[in-house]
Structure 1
Amino acid sequence: MGLEVESRPSDSPYIERVWRSTSHDVSRMTSIAAAHWDLVFWQHRGQVNVAVLGPESKASQALVPEDATFFGILFSLGTSMPHLPISGLVDGSAEIPDATRESFWLKGSSWRLPDYDNAEAFVRRMVREGVVERDPLVAAALDDASPDVSERTLQRRFVAATGLTRGAIRQIDRARRAAVLIQEGVPIQDVIHRLGYFDQPHLARSLTRYIGRTATRLRDRDPAEPLSLLYKT
């Protein structure tokens, strides 16, 4: 019962993670905040669906179709689709129409449906055909480099490439790290100290906003109310 999720990292600079899941006896989940955007494919009752899911600035409740299979490509920060400006997808999505069991249309071309094992080859084609691109300035800043531009320029490029400010991305990432540590059984005070929260109320507010769970509920996992993809970075 619940939402069974499997994921793996990728060696592609354009991909953060590749994931797949199936749903059984679950009708909704908590979709936690995410700085990355997804290209998601799912099948339900013989119908194939494709959508771009934008970054999520806060946790929310999402419906889950019964007995569905899902596959997604989570793109790295700084990667975007120029024909679908990411700023317009924050807390939203864009459906890609006319999908079949074998192919779908994207930016005027027919594409074979990718799968869990060939996601990298699929994204390489997206790069070659200019469907996705990566801002090297944002990528460098995320690797703790010091780009030779003003802070204002850097913030503008962050919002253009990710849809979120650099500060919001850091807060989301910290809350996700805290949730993983708590699920692993790390004491609350250690989580606060490791991740730089002021105190326990500060951590609690962050978890509520970005994860949609209290520390107690994170420890007492309920398969009837699953979380979306939460992985250790």
Structure 2
Amino acid sequence: MYRERASRLTGAVVWTNTPSPDGQGAVLPDGCMDLLWHDGRLLVAGPDTHAHPTTGPPTVWAGVRFAPGTAPALLGVPAHELRDRRVDLADLWPAAAVRRLTARVNAVEDPVRGLEELALRRAAETAPPDPLLGRLVAALDAGRPVSATADELGLGARQLHRRSLAAFGYGPKTLARILRLRRALDLARSGLPFAETAVRTGYADQPHMARDVKQLTGRALGDLLARG
């Protein structure tokens, strides 16, 4: 069972999840990165370009999902180095520091609260995210073309691509596809017919949406909705 709530860290979400015993769950691409707790360990989930299956025994996971583009500054590592990966936090930070942080999180009855406190402390110690990244996400999430967005931000195509790789793990065109996928799933889950969902989210037509959803998630849209 999956539960989430807004975090005290601006733009972030905290969540817990116990995967289904049948092992059929998956984490879909969403443009975000997560700080994870599982079985007493701290891990990081990098940005996904495809669905990441949830496997293993049905034990509790907890996480802080950072707003798109904000995690690399907090973690001190470019997003593209973690693309489609799950790594131990000790692979990114000094092992001794991670042991102390892990013990602190494990000492809290609710690991979500411990993770949130860790994220808040880290945010207080680092510079705030580049506001340009928020403007980029907002423009692409509104369906603005990548080229027009680059012009509006005063960036050349190469500079935009380079900054996107560091912040999001992939280029702006992939980010735009993933943000469009999120919008489409939200509308389809609200009950909007698939054809109208395709129009509202900027696909050429419903078959175009169906192909893109299948490419990014490995499943048909109807199957995703049926699984919740």
Alignment CA distance shift 1:91-1:204 (3 Å)? same
Which structure carries more relative contact order (alpha carbon 8 Å, separation 6+)? Answer: 1
Q: Deviations over 1:39-89 (max 9, x none)?
A: 11012xxxx2221110111124331422x1111011112221454332111
Q: TM-score, normalised by structure 1?
A: 0.76
Query: Does 1:65 find its partner at 2:57?
Result: yes
2:88 to 72, 84, 95: 95
Higher strand share: 1
Q: Deviations over 1:169-193 (max 9, x none)?
A: 1111111222232233211111111
TM-superposition CA deviations, 1:94-150 (whole Å, max 9, x none): 11359xxxxxx94452222173346544222112344x8623321232244943443
Opposite residue 75 of structure 1, the aligned amino acid is F
Q: 1:37 to 1:156 in 2, by over 3 A?
A: same
1:193 matches 2:189? no
Aligned in 2, Cα 1:182/1:139: closer, same or farther, shift over 3 Å?
Answer: closer
Match runs of 1:70-149 below 5 Å: 70-79=61-70, 80=72, 81=74, 83-97=76-90, 106-107=93-94, 108-109=96-97, 110-111=100-101, 112-113=104-105, 115-117=111-113, 119-130=115-126, 134-144=129-139, 146-149=152-155
Q: Are 2:27 and 2:54, in contact at CA under 8 Å, matched by a contact in 1? A: yes
User: Is the CA contact 1:32–1:60 (under 8 Å) kept in the aligned structure 2?
Assistant: yes
RMSD, matched Cα: 2.7
Change (3 A) 1:129 1:176: same
Q: Which runs of 4+ in 1 moved over 6 A?
A: none
Equivalences, count: 206
CA contact (8 A) 1:182 1:218 kept: no
8 Å contact 1:30–1:212 — kept in the other structure? no
CA distance in 2, matches of 1:41, 1:32: 19
Map 1:1-233 → 2, pairs under 5 A: 4-10=1-7, 12-13=9-10, 15-43=11-39, 48-66=40-58, 68-79=59-70, 80=72, 81=74, 83-97=76-90, 106-107=93-94, 108-109=96-97, 110-111=100-101, 112-113=104-105, 115-117=111-113, 119-130=115-126, 134-144=129-139, 146-221=152-227
